[in-house]
Amino acid sequence: MDRAAFELEAVSHLDAVYRHALHLTHRTFEAEEIVQEVYARAFRPTSVAAFQPTGGGMRSWLLAICHNVFYTLRRNASRDGVPASPGVERSSPEPMPDEGPPAWDRASMRWEHVDSTLKQAINNLAPEYREVLLLWGVEGLKYREIAAILSVPIGTVMSRLHRARQSISTELTRNGFRNANRPAETDKNTNATPSSGSPNPVAG
Q: What is the pLDDT of residues 157-170, one digit of tens each?
A: 999 999 999 998 88
Contacts of 62 (CB under 8 A, 6+ apart): 10, 13, 16, 17, 38, 42
Backbone conformation region of residue 2, classed left if phi is above 0, alpha if psi is from -120 to 50, else beta: beta
Q: What CATH number has the domain bearing residue 11?
A: 1.10.1740.10
Q: Quote the CA–CA distance of 12 and 8 in Å, as a whole number.
A: 6
User: What type of residue is 70?
Assistant: F
26 in a domain, yes or no? yes
Q: Quote the CA–CA distance of 183 and 100 in Å, as a whole number.
A: 10
Mean pLDDT calculated for residue range 64-76: 90
Model pLDDT, residue 69: 93
Q: Quote the CA–CA distance of 40 and 65 in Å, as a whole number.
A: 10
pTM > 0.75: yes or no: no
Helices (H), 43-108: 45-50, 57-79
- Per-residue confidence band for 187, with pLDDT thresholds at 50, 70 and 90: low
91 in a domain, yes or no? no
170 in a domain, yes or no? no
Any idea what the Cα angle at residue 59 is, between residues 49 and 42, rounded to 5°? 35
User: What type of residue is 108?
Assistant: S
Give residue 43's domain range: 3-79
Count the domains in the chain: 1
DSSP state of 198: S
CA contacts within 13 A on the Cβ side of 31? 16
Lowest mean pLDDT, pick from 86-95, 146-155, 176-185: 86-95
48 in a domain, yes or no? yes
198 in a domain, yes or no? no
Mean pLDDT calculated for residue range 65-88: 71
Q: Quote the CA–CA distance of 161 and 124 in Å, as a whole number.
A: 14
- Per-residue confidence band for 13, with pLDDT thresholds at 50, 70 and 90: very high
183 in a domain, yes or no? no
96-155: per-residue pLDDT in tens? Answer: 333 334 444 444 455 555 567 788 888 889 888 999 999 998 888 999 999 989 999 999
